[in-house]
Amino acid sequence: MEVKYDVIIIGGGPIGMACAIAAQRKGLNYLILEKGALVNSLFNYPLYMTFFSTAERLEIGDVPFSCIAPKPGRQEALEYYRNIQKHFKLNINLFEKVTSVQKKEDGFFNVISDKAIYTAENVVIATGFYDIPVYMDVPGEHLPHVRHYYKEAHEYAFRKVLVVGANNSSVDAALECWHKGAEVTMVIRKGEINDRVKYWIKPDIENRIAEGSITAHFYSSITAIREKEVDILTPEGPVTVEADFVLALTGYRPDIDFLKSCGIQTHDDVLCVPVYNPDTMETNLPGLYLAGVVCGGMETHKWFIENSRVHADMIITNIVSAKESD
């Protein structure tokens, strides 16, 4: 017998879990479909990453997040969200990737994964933005020594490492690699370290650059990557530097093509901010909702766990109200 869910949630990160908790509390029949591990994006963060947010701002389901340090790290966060799953016993299928969402003539949705086809009255997309790097589109970018994700510094110890970018991920990687003995060069598009870099990290990287421990090329961009060297366009002209590894930490973006394939419109083709009602999080397609950082399109700095947790109650309240008015 086919199960028709009140809501299927695509994405098992903190916001997807928050949506499930809200649905569970309202007695809705729900299912989370997550393509990887629980809170998969957090799992793939650098091993020693520290959150900018305090622990209480990462809480969901009214469950306290206890943390000794002022700011929790990746390990503490993984432990917290595992405990959330143990506590609520959320209905979640891990390692099941959704490939398409199709609205049928009867108003229900077909949610098609790599393992099954599901039917749901409502769908929430809470897929985040960490899956697809923002590529530089330069020759050599896809060589094996070019990395768009950074895990830890040990691999880069005593090697020549070129780091692209000046955001939190780039700065963390540059400092960690330098501390482990790497010779670090940074290529930065603007003239300074980004103002959004963690306030306790920003002075450290600026001091390392000022003293010459880390070389930084400001107002610069990469033009080509080869096996052992990189061409950089600087204000003084083109230069070539040696590099055993390139950490192209240029940011990440939501799967805009997937959103569009579901029928979700965007305001434009540059920032690709999806169309949705900010009061209900419902998109232009009735019954299809967005939650979390995916709402920002290419503006990935707008939404975080701490300011998008509220999406869960907004969405489930709207779903329940619609069911009661039927």
DSSP 132: E
Are residues 24 and 64 part of one domain? Answer: yes
Are residues 140 and 127 part of one domain? Answer: no
Are residues 121 and 266 part of one domain? Answer: yes
Are residues 260 and 128 part of one domain? Answer: yes
* SS3 call for 113: strand
Burial class (CB in 10 A: 0-12, 13-18, 19+), 75: exposed
Asked if 67 and 9 count as a contact pair (C-beta separation under 8 A), the reply is no
Are residues 183 and 268 part of one domain? Answer: no
Confidence (pTM): 0.93
One pLDDT digit (tens) per residue for the chain, 326 residues: 578 999 999 999 999 999 999 999 999 999 999 999 999 999 999 999 999 889 999 999 999 999 988 899 999 999 999 999 999 999 999 999 999 999 999 999 999 999 999 999 999 999 998 889 999 999 999 999 999 999 999 999 999 999 999 999 999 999 999 999 999 999 999 999 999 899 999 999 999 999 999 999 999 999 999 999 999 999 999 999 999 999 999 999 999 999 999 999 999 999 999 999 999 999 999 999 999 999 999 998 889 999 999 999 999 999 999 888 87
Rg from Cα positions in the chain: 22
* SS3 call for 208: helix
pLDDT of residue 1: 57
Are residues 261 and 197 part of one domain? Answer: no
Question: 294-324: b or e for each residue (b if 16 or more CB lie within 10 Å)?
Answer: bbbbbebeebbbbebbebbebbbebbbeeee
Asked if 297 and 272 count as a contact pair (C-beta separation under 8 A), the reply is yes
Are residues 241 and 258 part of one domain? Answer: no
Are residues 193 and 102 part of one domain? Answer: no
Are residues 178 and 106 part of one domain? Answer: no
CATH of the domain at 204: 3.50.50.60
According to DSSP, the residues that pair with 3 across neighbouring strands are none
Are residues 266 and 212 part of one domain? Answer: no
Residue finishing a domain among 182, 213, 248: 248
Could you tell me the CA-to-CA distances from 102 to 42, 58, 69, 157, 314 in Å, in that order?
Answer: 29, 32, 45, 48, 23
Asked if 39 and 78 count as a contact pair (C-beta separation under 8 A), the reply is yes
Cα 151 to Cα 117: distance, rounded to the nearest angstrom: 34
Percent of the chain that is helix, strand, coil (3-state, to 5): 30, 25, 45
According to DSSP, the residues that pair with 110 across neighbouring strands are 102, 119
Asked if 190 and 274 count as a contact pair (C-beta separation under 8 A), the reply is no
Amino acid letter, residue 326: D
Cα 65 to Cα 111: distance, rounded to the nearest angstrom: 33
Domain that holds residue 228: 135-248
**CB under 8 A, 24+ apart: contacts of 26-29:** 26/316, 26/320, 28/316, 28/319, 28/320, 29/3, 29/4, 29/5
Are residues 153 and 189 part of one domain? Answer: yes
Cα 159 to Cα 76: distance, rounded to the nearest angstrom: 30
Could you tell me the CA-to-CA distances from 90 to 118, 123, 211 in Å, in that order?
Answer: 17, 16, 51
Instruction: Indicate the number of domains in the chain.
Output: 2
